[in-house]
Structure 1
Amino acid sequence: MPRHHWLIALGACASVLMTETPVRSQATLPLTQDLNQEQLEEQGLRLIEDAIQLSRFQQFEWAIPRAKLATQLVPNRFEAWYILGTLLVQEGEFAEGIRILKRAESIESSESGIYSILGAAYFQSGQYELAVPELETALALGDESIEVLFDLGNAQLKLKDYAAAIATYERSLDLQDDFWPALNNIGLIYYEQGKIDAAIDKWQQAIEIDPSMAEPQLAVAVATYMQGNQEEGLTLAREALELDGRYGEIEFLDENLWGENLLQATEIVFATPSLKAVFEELTERAFQPEEMEP
């Protein structure tokens, strides 16, 4: 299961800016020749604050223009480039976001947050071999957060560096022992290695932490079916799909880092007549209009 927190470090920037000043900035400047460098700096920092506040409310279409203007007013402040790059990554503009973040890095190479977002951006754009060193740098600079460790573990998983991925997921569990996505993904690795019972054990641990999560429940269902307990496996699969019908799509499972062996097994389970009926029912529900309350 991938998990990305594009904006995990934006709050850190706010602490170094002019937080005592209320956010009042606009995306345009008054037409005057009287603005000196100090005033431009103040306006630029307020724009950065403004962009941060807007991003917290998911108003990226307003935040990005302010961040862009801030890079013009305070081009030597890494925060402006960092915020803009992060917002662009959030909006899926990975190539441009990476370019902007590299500019931030050239100004302040010791800011761990730059590398954590760079690593996430490289991962999301499928450049796993580039994601790993960026995330390792973030960790080396002190950002040993759940998010960075999970992104690193996911990149290592995609590169099939399974031993390293498991070690990284375990580091995240040392920080938070109920972090079920790490347990889930260790289970994904075990299944690819043929350690079926060990995989099921990890998925069961994830389910115990959060029974509402469909992913580990579906994984247990598939593994159970393939071990010969077909009736139980199908029952568990139906229950998992009732929780979240998105997991009925092989493409969605692939996006969530399910490996080749588990995907092949899942296709076998999904091809059974009883599950086909479940898919039809879920599809019908999706297209039914919601009932209006009287």
Structure 2
Amino acid sequence: MGSHRRSSQSFNKAWVLAALMSTIGLCSAEPAKALIPYVFTPSTQELEGAGIGIGRTAAQLLRLGQPKEAARLAALAVRLQPNDERLWSVLAEAQLRSEQLDDAAGSLARAKSLNPTNAGLWFAEASLALRDNRPDDAIPLLDRGLSLDPKNATAYFDLGNARVMQSDQKRALKAFERATSIKPSFWEALNNQSLVLFEMGNTKEAIRRWRSVLKINANPEPMLALAAALNKVRPGDEESLKLAQRALAESPNYVLPGHQKKQLWGLKLRRATAELFNNPSLQNAVERAEANADPKSAN
């Protein structure tokens, strides 16, 4: 029994050795290959979470004034989570601010298809139309958005601008007044009320409202507009000259008629401003502004 057990053990060892040598032979028959690395494949939920996180980062970059970087991140976010209209709206806003207007239009269309009840998407598309000088397209978009969000002061402001572009002064004034009724501190809307009133020939009321604007925000635009209006009423008015000097020093682009027109200043106000600039007391201020103005701002 003992000799049979040793014989059996010897046979088993020989078989294992033969099998091992056979395996070694097979391995040496081909060149050695690198190990295939383990690749992590995230789940759908994890991808969705990543998309939201990246979208939040993109939104933060927008708030920090970095629209190009925000657009790149938002584009990645919508690839990870293509059915979230919030991410598409962030992408559209980033593209809009970085002058990628065609891409922004496409992103807005995608966002609206996902959530047509989001008023902000209609307002954003209207803003895009206004930037492209298409007020006729912007107005129905604004009306649709306001039907969903009727207390949006900025939308009424944009509606007023669209009416100005259509030369519909009465309805423009009504829209700007609606904006300030919702948000009394909305100085831009109050300023534009004065722009419209001046063109309508109501200089006294325009002056009164421009003074109200400057109590909220001493911005160069209403400052110069008020100076032009005061000079129109009383040429060479000392207050007018001081306001004009300060406004041109702070914002020299307003010396350019093209920039004034771009800011929706009407023909009457632009002519009144040209008359103001002809005052010899403003010669140095006007020349400095012309030297410091950016011609691109008039395009």
Normalising to structure 1: TM-score of the pair? Answer: 0.78
Please identify, of 136-145 and 229-238, the stretch whose mean Cα deviation from structure 2 is larger. 229-238
| Larger helix fraction of residues | 2
CA contact (8 A) 2:176 2:190 kept: yes
Match of 1:140 in 2: 147
Shift of 1:225: 2.0
Q: Percentage identity across aligned positions?
A: 29
> Where do residues 122-271 of structure 1 align in structure 2 (5 Å cutoff)?
122-142=129-149, 144-210=151-217, 212-232=218-238, 233-271=240-278
Choose 1 or 2 for highest CA Rg.
Answer: 2
Cα displacement (A) at 1:84: 0.8
Aligned partner of residue 117 in structure 2, secondary structure = coil
Structure 1 spans left out of the alignment, 5+ residues:
1-30, 287-294
| Per-residue deviation, 1:280 | 2.8
Displacement over 3 Å in runs of 4+ = 231-236, 281-286
Secondary structure of the structure 1 residue equivalent to 2:149: coil
* Residue 83 (structure 1) aligns with: 90
* 1:209 shift after superposition: 2.8
> In 2, are the aligned partners of 1:138 and 1:144 still within 8 Å (CA)?
no
Q: Write the deviation string for residues 136-180 of structure 1: whole angstroms up to 9, x where unpaired.
A: 222211263332222222122211222222111111211222322
8 Å CA contact 2:92, 2:108 repeated in 1: yes
* 1:195-240 deviation digits (Å, cap 9, x = unpaired): 2222212212212333x22222222221222234324343442243
What amino acid is the match of 2:256? E
Separation in 2, partners of 1:66, 1:239: 41
Corresponding position: 1:96 with 2:103:
yes
- Contact 2:164–2:172 (CA under 8 A) maintained in structure 1: yes
* Distance (Å, rounded) in 2 between the aligned partners of 1:228 and 1:69: 59
Contact 2:197 2:205 in 1 (8 A): yes
State the distance in 2 between where 1:54 and 1:217 align. Answer: 33
**Cα RMSD between the aligned structures?**
2.3
Task: Flag structure 2 segments of 5+ consecutive residues without an equivalent.
Answer: 1-37, 294-299
Counterpart of 2:279 (choices 255, 266, 272) is 272
- Aligned to 2:72, the other structure's residue is in SS state helix
State the one-letter code of the partner of 1:227. V
1:276–1:192: structure 2 CA closer, same or farther, 3 Å change rule? same
Contact 1:112 1:143 (C-alpha < 8 Å) held by counterparts: no
Q: CA deviation at 1:91?
A: 0.8
Task: State how far apart, in whole Å, the 1-side matches of 2:148 and 2:168 are.
Answer: 23
- What code does the residue aligned with 2:255 have? G
Q: CA deviation at 1:103?
A: 1.0
Q: Please, which of 38, 48, 53 is the counterpart of residue 46 of structure 1? A: 53
- Do the aligned residues in 2 keep the contact of 1:113 with 1:143 (CA within 8 Å)? no
Give the Cα separation in 1 of the matches to 2:142 and 2:291.
Answer: 43
* Alpha-carbon distance, 1:282 to partner: 4.7
- 3-state SS, counterpart of residue 178 of structure 1: coil
TM-score normalised over the length of structure 2: 0.77
Aligned residue identity for 1:153: G
2:83 partner amino acid: N
Whole-angstrom distance in 2 between the partners of 1:32 and 1:70: 21
Change (3 A) 1:195 1:74: same
1:183 Cα deviation after fit? 1.8
Closer, same or farther in 2 for the Cα pair 1:170/1:84, shift >3 Å? same
Following the alignment from structure 1 to structure 2, what is the Cα–Cα distance between the partners of residues 215 and 62? 31
Amino acid at match of 1:124: R
Partner of residue 63, structure 1 = 70
Change (3 A) 1:53 1:235: closer
Question: Relative contact order (alpha carbons < 8 A, sep ≥ 6): 1 or 2 greater?
Answer: 1
